[in-house]
Amino acid sequence: MDEFFLEHLWYFVIGFCAVSYVVLDGFDLGVGMLNIFNKKDEERRLFLNAIGPVWDGNEVWLVVFGGALFAGFPGAYATILSSFYNLVMLFVAALIFRAVAIEFRSKHPSKSWRSTWDYVFAVASLGIAFGAGLILGNLIQGIPLNGDGDFTGASSLFFTPYPILIGFLVVALFLMHGCIYLVMKTEGELHDRLRVWSRRSMLLFFFVYFVATSATLIYMPFMAEKIREFPWIGLLGLFAFAFFFSIPKLFSKGRDGTAFIFSCLGIGSLFGLFGIGTYPVLVRSTVDPETNNLTIMNVASSFLTLKVLLIIVIIGIPMVLGYGFYIYRVFKGKVKIGPSSY
């Protein structure tokens, strides 16, 4: 086991955390955005309780992703967070408001209290999704860094067309993913309505996905470099398409659970493409990219730390996945409002 191997393994681990976060919290955020389209309190409560017991655990993947980045690639962690200072602060504010909205909504029966928190929930979810996409888009596009890995631009720089497009892509993705999750968790009239919603959100997603892919190929040609070199990587893109396209068919067969898993796999494939496309760069510099890019090699922690981290992950992750699956099994099936619900 050498340094090269550990660095790459850690890149994979971080990617795994990121995908887990997006797949899991993605549907929470989708549900948050969709929630205000419900008219009845009963339906809103059903939506909320569909994610009620799990959203907190899902958000932990973000914490672990941040921790893993700090642990394995402290230079990238420091650069990303200090460069996107203002965005990160707003992102954090949105995360807080989301958590608070979920917790506080049900504590009071008054209508205005509830609908206020529902709007907070929706706006915060939208903000988190869009903000994550915006940061992602900027990381693909690159930001000006000096030789110390410090950001030398202004925050207004982050609002250029490509990152904004990626922001919309993430929003559309989460809307679709949330719909698909809710189809699995609901029944009756609401279930039928959600199937219509998920079809519409899929159309929206495919449209934005098409635009974003074209923009990436035209304006960010380096993202496709590896595919030209190793065409089999392009299969990931095809997989993503195949997963997403088979969802309507699965719905008509009533296999809602499989549809949700396919949506997760589709997202995973998209992220795989992103991870391979940007490899080995973690933060791309628009100034002197040859020397100023932060790559997994030049910002990695020491060999010993990576080894310790690996041991932690080998012991910890199977446990996490084990009880994660257990908890999802306990709360499996259609949501019902019970005495301990939100």
List residues near other proteins by CB under 8 A.
52-54, 56-57, 59-60, 62-64, 66-68, 70-72, 74-75, 77-83, 85-86, 88-89, 92-93, 95-97, 99-100, 102-104, 107-108, 148-152, 155, 301-302, 304-305, 308-309, 312-313, 316-317, 319-320, 323-324, 327, 330-331, 338-341
Write down the least CB distance from residue 115 to other proteins, Å. Answer: 17
Nearer to other proteins, 157 or 223 (CB): 157
Write down the least CB distance from residue 186 to other proteins, Å. Answer: 17
Residue with tokens 């609002």: 159
Nearer to other proteins, 230 or 328 (CB): 328
Write down the least CB distance from residue 213 to other proteins, Å. Answer: 30
Q: Which amino acid, residue 36?
A: I
Lookup: tokens for 290 = 């040859």
As a whole number of angstroms, the distance between CA 135 and CA 167 comes to 8
The SS3 of residue 333 is coil
Nearer to other proteins, 2 or 229 (CB): 2
The SS3 of residue 62 is helix
Calculate the alpha carbon distances from 313 to 40, 57, 115, 129 in Å: 44, 17, 42, 27
Write down the least CB distance from residue 304 to other proteins, Å. Answer: 5
As a whole number of angstroms, the distance between CA 49 and CA 51 comes to 5
User: What region does 196 belong to: left with phi over 0, alpha with psi -120 to 50, or beta?
Assistant: alpha
Nearer to other proteins, 150 or 192 (CB): 150
Write down the least CB distance from residue 307 to other proteins, Å. Answer: 9
As a whole number of angstroms, the distance between CA 134 and CA 140 comes to 10
Nearer to other proteins, 84 or 205 (CB): 84
Nearer to other proteins, 231 or 338 (CB): 338
285 φ, ψ to 5°?
-100, 135
DSSP H helices, 84-110, are: 85-105
Write down the least CB distance from residue 327 to other proteins, Å. Answer: 5
Write down the least CB distance from residue 172 to other proteins, Å. Answer: 25
Q: Which amino acid, residue 174?
A: F
As a whole number of angstroms, the distance between CA 86 and CA 161 comes to 19
As a whole number of angstroms, the distance between CA 13 and CA 300 comes to 13
Nearer to other proteins, 71 or 175 (CB): 71
